Chains A and B, each alone.
Chain A
């Protein structure tokens, strides 16, 4: 069990590094990805 925690901690720290390196924020405003060609993107 305790070694599982060690592995879990490594995974969490890896997530932290990868997330911060890529600007990933799970709590961010709901950034729904729109596909190119969607009517919204042609407002301009």
Chain B
């Protein structure tokens, strides 16, 4: 590469300029005075003079060489472009390799992309999307890009003040850029490259400091979020399949259905149910307490006694139901019927000892006879009925990690799209 370098003298300031891509360079910008030189003219005539004193120093000096994607590139040109009123300035380094041609290193806010001009035209995939190969890119930015400053060599007739419409579509770590004017449309595809990698490649002592999130910067939570999401979905699928299997194999057999009446006049409201058999080595026992309560409550103490081993299990169930009419609206609270489970009960012969207590209706009706108050109820037992608690509980145990990563993944994306006028998160935020 070094053998091809030609040296010419700037006719404006006399500075010695290296021509690193002779035959391919069309315009040469003097590193000293900024004058634009016609590289296709054997006399190297001046095309235009730069009216301002040069103040921009490229982070990568012209002539620097570095290896990117196993190819040695030489920096031959540098330009700074910006939106109107010099807003959002970004810098572009033209790289050259005699065998491979030209590439770009583009830097904005300390974020770098390695960019290649592409010949294939991406396919439009919606109002704000383009598709290239299998990747869908979303519109990130659209506006005028105006050339503000150039030095070095360029393969076209570059001019200060030259403006093109620039559209950037992102699919991190890639970016698709369309530059268009009345004459032509040029597509290029960039890939995010870490700043410290650029620094290492070109042996730089300093590199522009980073701010914000780059348009095509890879989301640092993406890999973990993808893994966690996939893991969660696999295990969720497993739980649902197992739930179906358990549902199909559960007995759900009614072993007891008895009715009793609580009487306020009784000093003790205690009953012993007939014996019943619980099949299976170990399974749950579903208890349903069905009442006809009206603005009152019924509480039961349930003692499940294994007649074979005398082992017993104690549980409590309470049912309350209140309703009324207040401020023009009717309301109700509680339920007349409740179901719950005795957990993990061994098989065997059992009976149930029931002790009930009940409250009087509230408000107490006029001329209410407390001594004659009764509260009938029915108790139903089902052996091995599949509930949903274990499913929901297991899902609840699996959820926090995906929620955590989703939160950080989304926060990163929101920060990225904060820079864009086309943020997919903007409408959500506006709504909130």
Binding site for B on A (CB under 8 A): 1-2, 5-6, 8-9, 12-13, 15-17, 19-38, 40-41, 43-44
User: How many angstroms from the CA of A12 to the CA of B341 in the assembled complex?
Assistant: 21
Cβ contact within 8 Å between A20 and B242: yes
The listed residue (B312, B342, B386, B394) touching A12 by CB distance below 8 A is B394
Cβ contact within 8 Å between A26 and B353: no
Cβ contact within 8 Å between B310 and A41: yes
| Cβ–Cβ < 8 Å partners of A9 in chain B | 231-232, 235, 398
| Cβ–Cβ < 8 Å partners of A1 in chain B | 224
Q: Report how many residues on chain B are interfacial, defined by Cβ distance under 8 Å.
A: 52
User: How many angstroms from the CA of A19 to the CA of B304 in the assembled complex?
Assistant: 20
Cβ contact within 8 Å between A33 and B311: yes
CB distance from B8 to the nearest CB of A (A): 57
| Cβ–Cβ < 8 Å partners of A28 in chain B | 284, 315, 340-343
Q: List 9 A-B contacts (CB under 8 A).
A: A22-B283, A23-B283, A23-B284, A24-B390, A30-B316, A34-B311, A40-B312, A43-B272, A44-B305
The listed residue (B235, B287, B304) touching A13 by CB distance below 8 A is B235
Contact flags (1/0) for B212-239 with A, using CB distance below 8 Å? 0000000000001001100110010011
User: How many angstroms from the CA of A41 to the CA of B312 in the assembled complex?
Assistant: 7
In the complex where A9-B231, A25-B343 touch, is A34 in contact with B312 (Cβ < 8 A)? yes
CB distance from B224 to the nearest CB of A (A): 5
B313, CB-defined interface residue at 8 Å: yes
The listed residue (A13, A27, A35, A38) touching B394 by CB distance below 8 A is A13
| Cβ–Cβ < 8 Å partners of B311 in chain A | 33-36
B181, CB-defined interface residue at 8 Å: no
User: How many angstroms from the CA of A5 to the CA of B223 in the assembled complex?
Assistant: 14
| Cβ–Cβ < 8 Å partners of B389 in chain A | 25-27
Cβ contact within 8 Å between A38 and B341: no
User: How many angstroms from the CA of A38 to the CA of B309 in the assembled complex?
Assistant: 12
| Cβ–Cβ < 8 Å partners of B232 in chain A | 9
| Cβ–Cβ < 8 Å partners of A8 in chain B | 397-398, 401
| Cβ–Cβ < 8 Å partners of A33 in chain B | 311-314
In the complex where A23-B282, A23-B384, A43-B270 touch, is A31 in contact with B235 (Cβ < 8 A)? no
Cβ contact within 8 Å between A5 and B401: yes
B156, CB-defined interface residue at 8 Å: no
